[in-house]
Structure 1
Amino acid sequence: MYRLLVIIAGSVLIGFAYNCFLIPHKVLSSGISGIAMIIGILTPLSTGTMNFLLNLPLLIIGFMKLGRRFVLYTLLSVVVLSIALYIIPLRPISTDPILSSVFGGVLTGIGVGMVFRQSASTGGFDIIGMLLTHKRDFPLGGLLSAMNGIVVFVSGFFVNWDAALYTMLSIFVTGKVVDAIYTRHIKLTLMIITNKGEEMKQKLLGNLVRGVTLMDGEGAYSSQKRKILMTVISRYELANVKPLIQEVDPSAFVNITETVEVMGLFRRDAH
């Protein structure tokens, strides 16, 4: 239930950002939603309806590649966003297009990040981004910003180039906020020094889908023998790993460092 509520809240927040900050100033959003906005601005068709229809092909691809649960959650987000775009009145909160671009981008990024953290997406290019990040450790927000650059040029031709630049600003801010919230691409290296090496190894292997390297160590001052365990996890797994370490050896020395890149076998879809 918590996951569903977060997805709904994030999707409504995105709809609010669109209708109260972006659309009134003809500042477009990203990907499929941006294309739906262009159609909504240029034609009598509803932005919400077009957003739903344009997402259907990508939802099918997501079902084939990312699984049923992902698509059901994504479909929920798309439906809620489409309803929110239809219900929330088009009423600008700010008369300044730059402020609207920035705050609209921030709110959109928060909403998208909330949805992503529940293993769902808001549809459109987000599905493509999720597919790519399952294969490579790309920052999802930056990847979406790059893919959505096409919307900037489209908006320039169909609206005006001022709106295109505002759109670029909004997309940039959204990408930065998404990366601040959705951090699955960030990997951490844990080095655990303990005198309970075997117990620690069994505890980690029994609760993680990660490999663990076990090495012999010796205290330089005390000359006492220690075991050194090294493993690489995702940022999301850290909250689960800390209690496991404390349970086995509360006095273990743990060094946690951010990993720049992982090569070789590393399971990227672990939670």
Structure 2
Amino acid sequence: MQMVGIIIGSFIIVTAFNLFLIPHEVLSSGMSGISMIVGMITPINTGVANLLLNLPLLIIGYKMLGKRFIFNSIFSVFVISLGLYLVPVFPVAKDTILSSIFGGALTGLGVGIVFRSSGSTGGFDIIGMIVSRKKDFPIGVLLSGMNAVVIVISGFLFNWDSALNTLVSIFVTGKVVDAIYTDHVKLTLMIITEKGEEMRNHLVANLYRGLTIMDGVGGYTNGSRKILISVISRYELNEVKSLISEVDPTAFVNITETIEVMGLFHRPSPQ
């Protein structure tokens, strides 16, 4: 089902790009926006540019992030790149502002579906996740800064109307992604399971974040169990849910919004 979700989400993104955004010189966020710029000012097809620009990041991500997440991201980037290459650029609507809003909404829908399928569309998301794991740096600030660069480049290369429409598109995309996936950057997981040691080993082997483990007693059964607590980014949520289900499908999992994290967000280095 994950592959089906990634294909559907990626196809929706392709539709948004080639039918609404690119015909009006409106850019998307992240590396996709840079790929659009390359496609607009050079003979290189946008799909080819998207694949070439994302490939080095995905290779680095494969070594530093979860392998399943990166594999799904590679698949999504490949589907998007192939779709951008095959689907002709054709303006469905004549109004640039409406195309920016609707294209941004479609992009957000596609990205949200890909996120829910334990993947990403590559690009700046991979950069942000790598930096946030190496440095205690807010990923949202980093992504906003990189997207601001795309907007400024759009203004200088095309015109400032195009840059403002790009800003509208990126804003709408972010809102739709939040509505479909989750609007919290960081989440706290509390996992209550009778398979504490197996769960610990599985999460430590596949998840970059640290874990805190406590002993617990069932209020109804009076049986012993383990309570595992971890803080993750929103991009890791579906992957972590799958990891938990692989060990204990009956585990009780409470997912709550985390307002702020102090100290190390990533896994501490071994002493």
User: Residue 176 of structure 1: CA displacement?
Assistant: 2.2
* Equivalent residues of 2:187, 2:255 under 8 A apart: no
Task: Give the match for residue 170 of structure 2.
Answer: 171
Cα 1:168–1:230 shift into 2, 3 Å: same
Aligned 1:60-79 pairs, distance under 5 A = 60-79=59-78
Provide structure 2 residue ranges, at least 5 long, that are not aligned to the other structure.
204-210, 218-225
User: Residue 207 of structure 1: CA displacement?
Assistant: 5.2
Aligned 1:85-234 pairs, distance under 5 A = 85-134=84-133, 143-183=142-182, 185-188=185-188, 202=194, 211=212, 232=229
Query: SS of 2:153's equivalent?
Result: helix
Cα 1:260–1:29 shift into 2, 3 Å: same
Cα 1:171–1:202 shift into 2, 3 Å: same
Task: Give the match for residue 48 of structure 1.
Answer: 47
Cα RMSD after superposing both structures: 3.7
Q: Separation in 2 of the partners of 1:108 and 1:51? A: 15
Cα 1:263–1:14 shift into 2, 3 Å: same
Deviations 1:18-62 (A, max 9, x none): 011100111011222212211211222211111111122212211
Deviations 1:125-180 (A, max 9, x none): 12112324556898867753432111111111111111011001111121222233
Aligned length: 243
Cα 1:230–1:259 shift into 2, 3 Å: farther
Query: SS of 1:187's equivalent?
Result: strand
Q: Separation in 2 of the partners of 1:110 and 1:117? A: 11
* Equivalent residues of 1:204, 1:244 under 8 A apart: no
Q: Which moved more, 1:67-76 or 1:102-111?
A: 67-76
Q: What percent identity do the matched residue pairs reach?
A: 53
Task: Give the match for residue 80 of structure 1.
Answer: 79
Q: Separation in 1 of the partners of 2:256 and 2:75? A: 37
Q: Separation in 2 of the partners of 1:182 and 1:140? A: 17
Q: Separation in 2 of the partners of 1:173 and 1:157? A: 22
Give the number of the structure whose alpha-carbon radius of gyration is greater. 1
Q: Which moved more, 1:136-145 or 1:92-101?
A: 136-145
* Equivalent residues of 1:186, 1:258 under 8 A apart: yes
Q: Which amino acid aligns with 1:127?
A: I
Cα 1:114–1:132 shift into 2, 3 Å: farther
Q: Which amino acid aligns with 1:36?
A: S
Q: Separation in 2 of the partners of 1:44 and 1:214? A: 62
Cα 1:44–1:242 shift into 2, 3 Å: closer
Q: Which amino acid aligns with 1:59?
A: L
Cα 1:78–1:266 shift into 2, 3 Å: closer
* Equivalent residues of 1:140, 1:179 under 8 A apart: no
Task: Give the match for residue 24 of structure 1.
Answer: 23
Cα 1:201–1:5 shift into 2, 3 Å: closer
* Equivalent residues of 2:108, 2:173 under 8 A apart: yes
* Equivalent residues of 2:136, 2:265 under 8 A apart: no
* Equivalent residues of 2:196, 2:227 under 8 A apart: no
Q: Separation in 1 of the partners of 2:63 and 2:108? A: 26
User: Residue 258 of structure 1: CA displacement?
Assistant: 3.6
Q: Which moved more, 1:114-123 or 1:130-139?
A: 130-139
Aligned 1:220-259 pairs, distance under 5 A = 232=229, 244=251, 258-259=257-258
Q: Which amino acid aligns with 2:111?
A: V
* Equivalent residues of 2:133, 2:266 under 8 A apart: no
Q: TM-score, normalised by structure 2?
A: 0.72
Q: TM-score, normalised by structure 1?
A: 0.72
Q: Which amino acid aligns with 2:212?
A: G
